[in-house]
Amino acid sequence: MHTPRAIASLLALALAGPALGSLVEASSVEDLARRSDTVVRGKVERIVYDRSADGKRIFTYAEVVPSGVWRGAAPARLTVAVSGGVVGGIGQRVIGAPTFTQGEEVVLFLSRSKWGDYRVRGLGQGKFSVVAGQARPHLEGLSLSRRSALRAGERGAEPMAVEELERRVRAAR
Amino acid sequence: MSRLLRALAACALLAPAASALAFARATTDRTELPSPALDLWWRPRQIAFQVNASDFVGAGCAGPEEAAAAVRASFPAWQDAASGGVACTDFMFNDCGATTRTDLGYDQGDPGNNVNLVVFRRGLCSLHADPLCQNPPLTARGRPDFSACIAKYNCWADDDRDHGSNTIALTTVTWLQATGEIVDADMELNGWNGDTSNPAGVYFTCTATTTLCSAVPYGASGCADTDVQNAVTHEAGHILGLQHVCTGAGDETGPCPAGGSVMEATADRGDLTKRTLTQDDVAAVCGIYPAGGRTVTGPTTGLPGQPAAQILVGVSSPQSCPVPKRDSGCGAGGGGALALLAVLPLALRRRRARRS
């Protein structure tokens, strides 16, 4: 029953070396797209914070309105859940997790959880900020493996023109 | 060694080559006030930590005790930072002993119950059929809260927001947003589940060897895969308030140190280099927490050499070990007061040694 997960885990470990505080592999844009349920370009309309039941952990929910769906399907408004945030004067962060700013234009590589919200693929690798036509991944706090070899012709999660990012996502097979 | 001499040593380390330094400091959340973001820093010069390695499995370390020992061996790299043979920081990680606690984050209502925790998780929460893991309780905003599942199984919450199954370690840092003062830091290590046929988690090793484990390492011993001390020394840099080198504010890139750094954002399997601080790492810890001097903090862009409007914070009393609530007083590892008694002579010896 859990064999596919086990195989995926084995493959991930066999193909890529470890990294600290982040994913084992440094993903290519194309690989992020392949592993995502949906890839959208959009705007962060609203940010709300939440706490765990014991009050010790803080969560952020970014409500994003897609202006373009580059892969998969997406509703007119979606909620992206990440750890960390600011509540009651207390700030918290999981190192390597993406953060959001209201009004920010973003490209997001997302998986849909069974609770209906979305998770960013590959921590900060899966969140690009778009400014003046340039898309930059949120690599702050991320550790990436140097052993991972990208497929020929693919590019890692790195700054690039948003048009190139879209082309790569749409072309990923 | 006088305080003055040690402070001068710290200054000497930093002064001549400030522009060549590449370390970067972590900051408060840039999306919230105050703006610009503030550097993260600890008020106490001695912070307390506990280790939960009770669920560690694998021959890569000779049992939970050796895995915990490898964690403990990681922190002295930072607190023993020296320039020209002279100790240049008095920041210390005080070992409060073993614990069976699994909870992360910061309890604002009961600060004395918080602990800076290093915990080895075992296996993926999603593989537990328990409703606590499959259909966890919801938060006030109707989102899943895996805390109860984690507390019951000490598992890696791979269905949670940022805990991908192929993540090795995550550090959660909590601070006061108004000042950037860190009040809690916890480290989770995504440990192997002990299952060779359906493996999950990361194979941690303790052996300082250049012999790599095989690509599928489960059960191997005497080889290096994901070295505990290497990983924890790096994460301890985050706990101190450091950011990766070669990164800057937000999504920008920054300078990289010529001599390398524990805080580099990359690591190969079998990497042991991050067990040992480089000149840049020493400059970081001694620059922020200089021996006998005040803690350096203030608004910053996150880049070195731009410490605008610094606030200098005086040294405060050491952080206490947590008062045990979930552990029984005589439970596994003897957390709390017994651990404190065990550690006290070590801490006193260390202070005496620094004064000599």
Task: State whether A9 and B106 contact (CB < 8 Å).
Answer: no
- Per the structure block, which two tokens stand in for A38? 């949906």
Q: Give the Cα separation of B73 and B186 in Å (integer).
A: 17
CA distances from B242 to B287, B299, B302 (A): 12, 15, 9
Task: State whether A91 and B159 contact (CB < 8 Å).
Answer: no
Task: State whether A51 and B139 contact (CB < 8 Å).
Answer: yes
Residues of A in contact with B268 (CB under 8 A): 17-18, 145-147
Nearest to A25 among B107, B166, B231 (CB): B166
φ and ψ of B355, to 5 deg = -80, -20
B26 part of contact set with chain A, CB < 8 Å? yes
Q: Give the pLDDT confidence score for residue B299 in this predicted structure.
A: 61
Q: Average of pLDDT values for A2-7?
A: 44
Give residue-wise pLDDT tens across range B222-245.
Answer: 999 999 999 999 999 999 999 888
Q: Average of pLDDT values for B93-116?
A: 93
φ and ψ of B233, to 5 deg = -60, -40
Nearest to B166 among A2, A12, A120 (CB): A12
Residues of B in contact with A138 (CB under 8 A): 250-251
Helix (DSSP H) and strand (DSSP E) numbers for chain A: 3, 10
Segments in chain B forming alpha helices (H): 3-14, 64-72, 76-79, 131-134, 147-153, 228-240, 279-288, 337-355
Q: Which long-range contacts (CB under 8 A, 24 or more apart) does B127-130 make?
A: B127/A2, B127/A5, B127/B155, B127/B193, B127/B200, B128/B153, B128/B155
CB atoms within 10 A of CB A130: 18
Under a CB-based contact definition with an 8 Å cutoff, are residues B27 and B37 in contact? Answer: yes
Q: Give the pLDDT confidence score for residue B298 in this predicted structure.
A: 67
Residues of B in contact with A132 (CB under 8 A): none
Q: In this structure, what DSSP letter does residue A26 have?
A: -
Residues of A in contact with B244 (CB under 8 A): 140-143
Task: State whether A90 and B250 contact (CB < 8 Å).
Answer: no
- Per the structure block, which two tokens stand in for B338? 């017994």
- Per the structure block, which two tokens stand in for A71? 């892969």
Residue A74: closest CA among A32, A134, A116: A116
- Search chain A and give the residue with CA nearest B128: A2
Which one is predicted more confidently, A87 or B36?
Answer: A87
Residues of A in contact with B199 (CB under 8 A): 6, 9-10
Which one is predicted more confidently, A48 or B332?
Answer: A48
Task: State whether B176 and A145 contact (CB < 8 Å).
Answer: no
Tell me which of A20, A58, A125 to substitute to probe the interface with B (most B C-beta atoms closer than 10 Å).
A20
Give residue-wise pLDDT tens across range B64-76.
Answer: 999 999 999 999 9
Q: Give the pLDDT confidence score for residue B301 in this predicted structure.
A: 42
The residue whose two tokens read 């280790």 is B51
Task: State whether B29 and A50 contact (CB < 8 Å).
Answer: no
The residue whose two tokens read 């059960």 is B219
* Low-confidence winner among A66-80, A148-162, B157-171 (lowest mean pLDDT): B157-171
Chain B residues 244-303 with a CB less than 8 Å from chain A: 244, 247, 250-251, 265-269, 271, 274
Q: Give the Cα separation of B159 and B167 in Å (integer).
A: 12
Q: Give the Cα separation of B353 and B356 in Å (integer).
A: 5
Residues of B in contact with A78 (CB under 8 A): none
CA A69 to chain centre: 15
Q: Hey, is B36 helix, strand or coil?
A: coil
Task: State whether A20 and B168 contact (CB < 8 Å).
Answer: yes
The residue whose two tokens read 């040593």 is B9
Residue A65: closest CA among A80, A84, A50, A86: A80
Q: Give the pLDDT confidence score for residue B331 in this predicted structure.
A: 35
CA distance B94 to chain A (A): 23
User: If pLDDT is split at 50, 70 and 90, which confidence band does B311 have?
Assistant: low
Rounded to 5°, angle at Cα B19 from B13 and B23:
70
User: If pLDDT is split at 50, 70 and 90, which confidence band does B256 have?
Assistant: confident
Q: Average of pLDDT values for B29-41?
A: 74
Residue B318: closest CA among B102, B47, B112, B16: B47
Give strand pairing partners of B111.
none
Q: Average of pLDDT values for B195-214?
A: 93
User: If pLDDT is split at 50, 70 and 90, which confidence band does B329 have?
Assistant: very low
CA distances from B97 to B46, B284, B318, B348, B351 (A): 15, 27, 16, 16, 19
- Per the structure block, which two tokens stand in for A68? 């373009």
- Search chain A and give the residue with CA nearest B134: A114
How close are the terminal C-alpha atoms of chain B, in Å? Answer: 6
φ and ψ of A45, to 5 deg = -90, -35
Residue B312 has pLDDT above 80, yes or no: no
Please enumerate in sequence order all residues whose Cβ is within 8 A of that of B168, keeping only pairs 6 or more positions apart, or say none.
A18, A19, A20, A21, A22, A24, B189, B190, B202, B226, B231
Tell me which of A140, A147, A162, A165 to substitute to probe the interface with B (most B C-beta atoms closer than 10 Å).
A140
Task: State whether A90 and B139 contact (CB < 8 Å).
Answer: no
Give residue-wise pLDDT tens across range B173-185.
Answer: 999 988 899 999 9
Q: Hey, is A57 helix, strand or coil?
A: coil
Q: Give the pLDDT confidence score for residue B6 in this predicted structure.
A: 53
Q: Give the pLDDT confidence score for residue B26 in this predicted structure.
A: 87
Nearest to A101 among B31, B143, B175 (CB): B31
Residue B49: closest CA among B171, B155, B150: B171
Which one is predicted more confidently, B217 or B158?
Answer: B217
CA distances from A76 to A45, A64, A169, B37, B204 (A): 12, 9, 20, 33, 43
Amino acid at B292: G
Q: Give the pLDDT confidence score for residue B163 in this predicted structure.
A: 66
Task: State whether A140 and B160 contact (CB < 8 Å).
Answer: no
- Search chain B and give the residue with CA nearest A3: B198
Chain B residues 192-251 with a CB less than 8 Å from chain A: 197-200, 202-203, 215-217, 225-226, 231, 234-235, 238, 243-244, 247, 250-251
Nearest to A97 among B31, B162, B268 (CB): B162
The residue whose two tokens read 């082309």 is A167
Give residue-wise pLDDT tens across range B263-294.
Answer: 988 767 899 999 999 999 999 999 999 999 88
- Per the structure block, which two tokens stand in for B233? 């020394």
Q: Hey, is B271 helix, strand or coil?
A: coil
Residue B254 has pLDDT above 80, yes or no: no
Residue A52: closest CA among B32, B146, B113: B146
